[in-house]
Amino acid sequence: MNDTIDPQEITGLVLAGGRGSRMGGVDKGLQNFNGLPLALHTLMRLQMQVGHTMVNANRNLSAYEAFGAPVWPDVLADYAGPLAGFLTGLERCETAFLATVPCDTPLFPLDMVDRLSEALLREHADIAMVSAREEDGSLRAQPVFCLLRVELLESLVQFTHGGGRKIDAWTGRHKTVLVPFEPPATDARAFFNANTLAELHSLEQP
């Protein structure tokens, strides 16, 4: 068995379907980051790690389509959260694995998918999930940074159709391996998500 999954077997999904309520209701993925729309920056970073990409967005679809990747809105109504994006991605995924990243964390590591795939294979897991160091020093799971087997689609359909919306409540039903990403090997800001425009601009600094 190979140590990692062939990138051509992985589809990367940028999650840009939120309301942006903590950023004043703007479409977060279209805000400027180092001269590019935030979600495009994220997409380009993800494209270096996977064979195929797509975007989950619920507003301004033509703007996202201009990025050159397929764009799919939530299959669940009323901005149902990241799991709605997971569900959309799994339904549209044509490869064996789906990697998810949010659009508001533009500095995630360039070896993230590779490390998640290695852990998923090693542990014979269904899901590999990032864990990162918090400001208080604790390691905390980052459930929107995941590598999933597409066979999980049926489970997620049942969970969401039953009213489930919390990521950890669903991932807890499956064998999940946590993969630590820590300084100094990983930038301390790698998994910092920008919830305000000021936070976003602060990430532009080297």
Query: Which residue reads 């993925």 in tokens?
Result: 29
The whole-number pLDDT of residue 1 equals 47
Query: Which residue reads 């994006």 in tokens?
Result: 85
Helix, strand and coil content of the chain, in percent to the nearest 5, comes to 35, 25, 40
The CA-based diameter of the chain, rounded to the nearest angstrom, is: 48
- Ramachandran angles phi, psi of 201, nearest 5°: -65, -30
Q: Three-state DSSP class for 61?
A: helix
The whole-number pLDDT of residue 200 equals 85
* Inter-residue contact 185 to 112 (CB < 8 Å): no
| CA distance linking residue 147 with residue 161, whole number of Å | 22
The whole-number pLDDT of residue 20 equals 55
Domains of the chain: 7-203 (3.90.550.10)
The whole-number pLDDT of residue 8 equals 97
pTM for the whole structure? 0.93
Spans in the chain with pLDDT lower than 50: 1
DSSP string, 135-150: TTS-EEEEEEEEEEEG
The whole-number pLDDT of residue 22 equals 56
Q: Three-state DSSP class for 204?
A: coil
Structure tokens of 27? 């479409």
The whole-number pLDDT of residue 199 equals 84
| pLDDT digit string, tens, across residues 156-189 | 999 999 999 899 999 999 999 999 998 777 888 8
Q: Three-state DSSP class for 16?
A: strand
